[in-house]
Amino acid sequence: MYVTIVHISVKPEKIADFKDACRLNHENSVQEPGNLRFDVLQSTDEPTKFVLYEAYNTQQDAAAHKQTAHYLNWRETVASWMAEPRQGITYCGLYPAEND
């Protein structure tokens, strides 16, 4: 499993718009081949802070996600709404293992 956790800080006046854009990206991403999870999380303490948890079977599946029309549209749409550049950190999933 190949996981990317993306930390995002959004301008306060763009929270509702950002959530709508993320919903559309989520709805399309979970239909991609190789997608295992695509969660959109909002901090309960700091509503301008979001985390995207993206899990794919392989690194190639994750790379293919970044070529989709819905991702490219999301990226362009939300770029100016961010208070700072987003930070994506990749991980190799250990557990649950495939055979668990």
> What is the model's pLDDT at position 99?
59
- Domain containing 43 equals 2-92
Tokens of 94: 């250990």
Q: What length is written for the chain? A: 100
pLDDT at 96: 79
99 within domain boundaries: no
Domain CATH for 12: 3.30.70.100
**Are 39 and 75 within 8 A, CB to CB?**
no
Tell me if 98 is assigned to some domain.
no
**Structural domain includes residue 47:** yes
CA pair distance 54, 37, nearest whole angstrom: 6
**pLDDT above 90: percentage of residues in the chain:** 92
pLDDT digits (tens, 9 = 90+) for 62-83: 999 999 999 999 999 999 999 9
Whether residue 98 is predicted with pLDDT greater than 80 in this model: the reply is no
Residue 100 lies in a domain: no
In the prediction, which pLDDT does 100 show? 59
In the chain, the number of structural domains is: 1
Short-list 20, 15, 74, 79, CA closest to 50: 15
pLDDT in tens, 3-16: 999 999 999 999 99
CB contact set of 36 (below 8 Å; sequence gap of 6+): 1, 55, 56, 57
